[in-house]
């Protein structure tokens, strides 16, 4: 078969699989894997493996670009504790389950590792579609997934350096030394040399893509040299990490991402091609057990940790559901383990089966998490502890007060004005530092947490103000307020006029559209002062705009 014929068959099958997956509202990754399985039953095409390896190299190149070291500082303590705790517990339990299913120690450990990671890509896409990325549980979930990504990259680096030598103490020590040296050199280059070079190259948009791609492949090839001893995939990651601080890194990301997606399609097709249809019968039973552990066990682990930390059952449940799948990184790790001879193809086939099942089911779970919680939430009290995070701040019984959801830029302006008018103001925010700083005037939570509504006394409030622009959360709040005997004044926030109209129809007394208000305010200034440079440059104007 010609090269073009091979390309046509592979991409044609992948396209069909991706479209069918989308029609079923499943991640396209599942369609690509199934396409590879179907393809393996018809014909063997060696080029798939090479293209898939290039896809993983570009994937890790972009991971390095989008993962500057400063990102670690932005991961909150909650995400760090939950992420590390979930990885450790899942790994131990997953390894024990795999051992009980008859796997040897090393394959069982790899299975345990593979089950620990969740898919950042799938979760971000689903939460973005639900507009929940900025919710309390959304921030926790993304933070936990970032921690998992860091750990997964560390495992890939170690495996890449070990190769076929095995987990001997001396070998592991030497790999760690080489890794530290390479990462240190990469960070030095990213701060001292490469930003200037790529900022110069970035002035020509046509050239920056070619130079960045050449840099990635040259470093990948160099790192994979026997004298260095790592794989091309890790070379791609280090090449990306070295460019993380370049001003032109956003240009590089935007241009490389479509190419990455194209070659990652090949990786998932190749993964499916490695799942022998003849093995399906032997992996269904262990695959079903491991899938059940991922779909049920992992969320329970996360709920337990969040409960111990004081989070309420709703936030714990919604955050926990997001980890109920196997990650793309899990498949990358096992593919590397297969290549260096640590596992056999059956282990990769098994985890591939688990990936298909868990990615499919978790998509449904995440999309319908709110509805599921309403049905089972009353049974989840066991995961709450008496010392809840909602105990941060207020413990008094509130009456005739104003409830202010969100102490953001708008909230910080409104609160002192309301207090000046003689109103008691109760702030509800999901930032513990804000709650602690406000003391008894604040409580920990968010507008979507309807279990909190009774605790903050909405039924006895004179006004409820939401500075959060999430449409679904505000509709939920308005629906609750409509049922009250004495409905308080309701002021909510919308992203645009269309959403504002919907909120008015659902009972809002006033809808704040920040961009519209800002435009009207600026128009009023122009009417009175024109384009007076002295007025706009006055300290008074700069103070006002810095607060808005």
In a domain, residue 543? The reply is no
pLDDT in tens, 320-338: 999 999 988 898 899 888 8
- Quote the pLDDT of residue 159: 80
In a domain, residue 532? The reply is no
Q: 190 vs 45, 195, 524, CA distance in Å?
A: 39, 6, 47
In a domain, residue 434? The reply is yes
pLDDT in tens, 114-134: 999 998 888 888 888 777 777
pLDDT in tens, 497-527: 889 899 999 999 999 888 777 777 788 888 8
Looking at the fold, whether 156 and 225 belong to one and the same domain comes out as yes
- Quote the pLDDT of residue 374: 81
Domain with 460, as residue range(s), is 389-512
Considering 5-9, 66-70, 312-316, 402-406, the range whose residues carry the highest mean pLDDT is 402-406
Considering 143-147, 270-274, 434-438, 544-548, the range whose residues carry the highest mean pLDDT is 143-147
- Quote the pLDDT of residue 323: 93
Report the number of distinct structural domains present in the chain. Answer: 2
Whether the pLDDT of residue 396 is over 70: the answer is no
Rg (CA), the chain: 26
Instruction: Quote the CA–CA distance of 348 and 331 in Å, as a whole number.
Output: 7
Neighbours of 288 (CB within 10 A): 13
Neighbours of 289 (CB within 10 A): 14
Instruction: Quote the CA–CA distance of 39 and 246 in Å, as a whole number.
Output: 41
Average confidence score pLDDT of the chain: 82
In a domain, residue 166? The reply is yes
Residue 546 pLDDT grade (very low, low, confident, very high; cuts 50, 70, 90) = very low
- Quote the pLDDT of residue 540: 66
Looking at the fold, whether 394 and 305 belong to one and the same domain comes out as no
Looking at the fold, whether 349 and 408 belong to one and the same domain comes out as no
The SS3 of residue 426 is strand
Contact between residue 117 and residue 326 where contact means Cβ atoms under 8 Å apart: yes
Q: What is the CATH number of the domain that holds 333?
A: 1.20.1530.20
Reported pTM: 0.74
- Quote the pLDDT of residue 548: 40
pLDDT in tens, 15-29: 998 899 888 888 888
- Quote the pLDDT of residue 171: 66
Looking at the fold, whether 294 and 411 belong to one and the same domain comes out as no
Looking at the fold, whether 172 and 267 belong to one and the same domain comes out as yes
In a domain, residue 533? The reply is no
Whether the pLDDT of residue 492 is over 60: the answer is yes
- Quote the pLDDT of residue 541: 66
In a domain, residue 370? The reply is yes
Contact between residue 21 and residue 256 where contact means Cβ atoms under 8 Å apart: no
Looking at the fold, whether 293 and 242 belong to one and the same domain comes out as yes
Whether the pLDDT of residue 397 is over 80: the answer is no
Whether the pLDDT of residue 388 is over 60: the answer is no
In a domain, residue 340? The reply is yes
pLDDT in tens, 463-478: 999 998 888 888 989 9
Looking at the fold, whether 358 and 503 belong to one and the same domain comes out as no
Looking at the fold, whether 348 and 423 belong to one and the same domain comes out as no
Label each residue of 286-306 as H, E or C. Answer: HHHHHHHHHHHHHHHHHHHHH
- Quote the pLDDT of residue 545: 47
Looking at the fold, whether 230 and 247 belong to one and the same domain comes out as yes
Looking at the fold, whether 247 and 348 belong to one and the same domain comes out as yes
Contact between residue 449 and residue 394 where contact means Cβ atoms under 8 Å apart: no
- Quote the pLDDT of residue 99: 96
In a domain, residue 419? The reply is yes
Q: What is the CATH number of the domain that holds 393?
A: 3.40.50.720
Label each residue of 392-410 as H, E or C. Answer: CECCCCCCCCEEEECCCHH
Looking at the fold, whether 357 and 438 belong to one and the same domain comes out as no
Looking at the fold, whether 435 and 353 belong to one and the same domain comes out as no
- Mean pLDDT confidence for 346-350: 89
- Quote the pLDDT of residue 504: 92
Instruction: Quote the CA–CA distance of 295 and 316 in Å, as a whole number.
Output: 15
């Amino acid at each position: 078969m010609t090269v073009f014929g091979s390309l046509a068959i592979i991409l044609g099958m992948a396209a069909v699989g991706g479209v069918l997956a989308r029609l079923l509202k499943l991640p396209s990754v599942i369609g690509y894997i199934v396409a590879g399985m179907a393809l393996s039953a018809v014909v063997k095409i060696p080029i798939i493996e090479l293209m898939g390896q290039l896809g993983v190299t570009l994937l890790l190149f972009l991971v390095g670009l989008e993962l500057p070291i400063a990102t670690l500082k932005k991961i909150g303590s909650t995400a760090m504790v939950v992420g590390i705790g979930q990885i450790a517990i899942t790994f131990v339990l997953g390894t024990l389950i795999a051992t009980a299913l008859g796997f040897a120690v090393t394959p069982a450990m790899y299975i345990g590792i593979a089950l620990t990671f969740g898919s950042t890509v799938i979760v971000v896409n689903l939460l973005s579609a639900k507009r929940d990325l900025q919710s309390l549980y959304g921030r926790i979930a993304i933070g936990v997934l970032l921690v998992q990504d860091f750990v997964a990259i560390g495992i890939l680096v170690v495996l890449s350096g070990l190769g076929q030598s095995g987990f001997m103490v001396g070998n592991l020590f030497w790999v760690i030394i080489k890794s530290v040296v390479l990462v240190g050199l990469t960070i030095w280059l990213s701060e001292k040399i490469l930003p200037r070079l790529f900022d110069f190259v970035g002035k020509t948009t046509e050239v920056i893509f070619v130079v960045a791609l050449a840099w990635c492949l040259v470093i990948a090839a160099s790192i994979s040299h026997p004298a260095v001893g790592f794989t091309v995939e890790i070379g791609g990651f280090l090449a990306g990490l070295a460019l993380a601080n370049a001003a032109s890194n956003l240009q590089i990301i935007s241009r490389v991402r479509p190419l990455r997606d194209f070659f990652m399609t090949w990786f998932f097709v190749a993964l499916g091609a490695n799942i022998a249809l003849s093995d399906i019968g032997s992996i269904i039973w262990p695959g079903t057990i491991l899938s059940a552990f991922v779909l049920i066990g992992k969320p329970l682990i996360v709920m337990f940790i969040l409960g111990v930390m004081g989070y309420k059952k709703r936030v714990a449940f919604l955050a926990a559901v997001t980890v109920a799948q196997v990650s793309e990184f899990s498949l990358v790790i096992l593919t590397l383990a297969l290549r260096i001879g640590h596992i056999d193809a059956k282990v990769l086939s098994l985890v591939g089966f688990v990936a298909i099942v868990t990615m499919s089911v978790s998509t449904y779970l995440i999309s319908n998490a709110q509805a599921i919680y309403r049905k089972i939430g009353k049974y989840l009290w066991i995961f709450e502890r008496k010392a809840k995070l909602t105990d941060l701040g207020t413990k008094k019984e509130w009456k005739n007060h104003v409830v202010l959801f969100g102490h953001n830029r708008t909230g910080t302006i409104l609160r002192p004005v309301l207090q000046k008018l003689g109103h008691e103001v109760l702030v509800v925010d999901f930032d513990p530092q804000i709650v602690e700083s406000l003391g008894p005037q604040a409580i920990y939570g968010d507008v979507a947490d309807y279990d909190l509504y009774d605790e903050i006394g909405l039924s006895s409030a004179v006004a409820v103000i939401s500075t959060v622009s999430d449409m679904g959360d505000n509709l939920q709040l308005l629906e609750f307020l409509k049922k009250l005997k004495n409905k308080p004044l309701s002021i909510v926030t919308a992203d645009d006029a269309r959403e504002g109209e919907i909120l008015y129809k659902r009972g809002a007394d006033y809808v704040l559209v920040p961009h519209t208000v800002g435009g009207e305010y600026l128009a009023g200034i122009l009417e009175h002062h024109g384009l007076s440079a002295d007025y706009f440059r006055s300290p008074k104007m700069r103070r006002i705009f810095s607060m808005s």
